[in-house]
């Protein structure tokens, strides 16, 4: 972005020296036009960043709505399950009384399939993160991706918007990559808090093909060698919070890891 500003500014003075140094008013006019152009560029950049931040916030709000809707459904389902429990016990006893082991096995298989069709609702201690994890857990289930979470995020100092942007981008890349893999599909999310630092890792299976050069991973979606917008965003936010990010692959396992300063300001 800075390079583009410099290019715009230099283009204003791209004419010959005799043109803009002939008179002082001409030189002053050129300078004022240059300053005005830079101010406009900065204003456009600010508006664009504001738009992206608002878009990310709206996305997280939508995910939260889905998460809380799922929580409500789970509460209702548990009430129904408690109500129906005695009927299920009676059915099992009926199979046992008749010594119908085949029927009992089929009945238990049906109950197991019913439970397998549900996405486990995560509880990390952070409602915003739970919403993001549940959202991508549903996407993973639809793509037959095994999705596991081992996170404890209660009372983290990192703003929810920044943290969920990192987590959401990492999971978005993970479900895309794992969903295109023909082998065992999985995504594993884990966090660890140590002293004043927070470590987040997102592992996923993928096809093993990685466009990488000089430590940079290039997006498969773009024609030119450019890092993906998501990766750039995650790197920027890690640096903002005094940390770093790393992306590496071994065989068909890809890992994105992020370390962030988790100090609570007095």
Neighbour-count burial for 106-118, b at 16+ CB within 10 Å, e otherwise: ebeeeeeeeeeee
146 in a structural domain: yes
pLDDT band at 13 (very low <50, low <70, confident <90, very high): very low
Does one domain contain both 99 and 7? no
9 in a structural domain: yes
Residue 131, CA atoms < 13 Å, CB-side half-sphere: 20
> What is 195-222 written as a DSSP string?
TTEEEEEEEEE--S---EETTEEBPTT-
pLDDT band at 155 (very low <50, low <70, confident <90, very high): confident
Burial of 195 (0-12, 13-18, 19+ CB in 10 A): exposed
Token pair of 171, please? 């999971």
224: domain CATH number is 3.30.565.10
pLDDT of residue 2: 45
pLDDT of residue 151: 94
> Of 43-47, 48-52, 191-195, which range is least confident?
48-52
174 in a structural domain: yes
- Domain encompassing residue 104: 56-118
51 in a structural domain: no
206 in a structural domain: yes
CA distances from residue 67 to 53, 147, 256 in whole angstroms, order as listed: 21, 16, 24
pLDDT band at 252 (very low <50, low <70, confident <90, very high): very high
Does one domain contain both 236 and 139? yes
219 in a structural domain: yes
Digit-coded pLDDT (tens) for 49-82: 555 556 655 655 665 666 556 656 655 555 666 6
pLDDT band at 34 (very low <50, low <70, confident <90, very high): confident
> What is 5-34 written as a DSSP string?
HHHHHHHHT-S-HHHHSS-HHHHHHHHHHH
Digit-coded pLDDT (tens) for 202-212: 999 999 888 77
Does one domain contain both 128 and 242? yes
Q: Cα 9 from chain centroid? A: 37
How large a percentage of the chain has pLDDT more than 90? 30
What's the average model confidence in pLDDT over 82-104?
Answer: 78
Digit-coded pLDDT (tens) for 125-143: 888 888 889 889 888 988 9
Rounded-to-integer distance, Cα 33 and Cα 134, Å: 51
CA distances from residue 73 to 1, 15, 147 in whole angstroms, order as listed: 46, 68, 20
pLDDT of residue 1: 47
pLDDT of residue 76: 57
Does one domain contain both 90 and 125? no
Does one domain contain both 133 and 216? yes
Does one domain contain both 242 and 217? yes
Residue 266 has pLDDT above 60, yes or no: no
Does one domain contain both 126 and 114? no
266 in a structural domain: no
Does one domain contain both 242 and 144? yes
Rounded-to-integer distance, Cα 75 and Cα 45, Å: 45
Question: Which of 144, 95, 145, 141 is closest to 120 using CA atoms?
Answer: 141
> What is 141-186 written as a DSSP string?
HHTT-EEEEE---TT-SS-HHHHHHHHHHHHHHHHHHHHT-SS--E
pLDDT band at 263 (very low <50, low <70, confident <90, very high): confident
Query: Total structural domains in the chain?
Result: 3
How large a percentage of the chain has pLDDT more than 70? 61
Does one domain contain both 89 and 131? no
Rounded-to-integer distance, Cα 236 and Cα 226, Å: 16
Residue 206 vs residue 102, higher pLDDT: 206
Instruction: Tell whether pTM > 0.75.
Output: no
Does one domain contain both 138 and 61? no
Does one domain contain both 22 and 113? no
pLDDT band at 243 (very low <50, low <70, confident <90, very high): very high
What's the average model confidence in pLDDT over 236-257?
Answer: 93
Does one domain contain both 166 and 201? yes
Looking at 100, 118, 136, the residue that finishes a domain is 118
pLDDT band at 90 (very low <50, low <70, confident <90, very high): confident
Looking at 118, 147, 170, the residue that finishes a domain is 118
Residue 103 has pLDDT above 70, yes or no: yes
């Amino acid at each position: 972005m800075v390079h583009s500003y410099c290019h715009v500014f230099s283009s204003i003075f791209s004419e010959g020296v005799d043109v803009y140094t002939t008179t002082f008013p001409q030189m002053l006019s050129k300078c004022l036009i240059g300053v005005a152009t830079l101010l406009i560029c900065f204003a456009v950049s600010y508006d664009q960043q504001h738009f992206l931040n608002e878009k990310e916030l709206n996305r997280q709000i939508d995910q939260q709505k889905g998460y809380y809707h799922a929580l409500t459904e789970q509460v209702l389902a548990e009430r129904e399950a408690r109500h129906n429990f005695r009927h299920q016990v009676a059915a099992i006893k009926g199979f046992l009384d008749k010594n119908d082991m085949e029927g009992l096995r089929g009945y238990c298989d049906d109950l197991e399939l019913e439970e397998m069709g549900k996405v486990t609702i995560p509880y990390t201690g952070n409602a915003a993160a739970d919403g993001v994890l549940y959202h991508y857990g549903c996407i993973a289930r639809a793509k037959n991706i095994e999705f596991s979470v081992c996170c404890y995020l209660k009372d983290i100092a990192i703003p929810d918007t920044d943290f969920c942007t990192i987590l959401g981008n990492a999971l978005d890349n993970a479900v895309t990559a794992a969903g295109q893999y023909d082998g065992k599909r999985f995504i594993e999310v884990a966090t660890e808090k140590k002293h004043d630092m927070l470590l987040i890792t997102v592992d996923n299976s993928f096809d093993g093909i990685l466009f990488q050069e000089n430590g940079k991973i290039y997006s498969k979606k773009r024609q030119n060698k450019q890092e993906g917008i998501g990766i750039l965003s995650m790197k920027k936010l890690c640096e903002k919070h005094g940390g770093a990010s790393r992306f590496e692959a071994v065989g068909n396992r890809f890992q994105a890891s992020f370390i962030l300063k988790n100090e609570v300001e007095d």
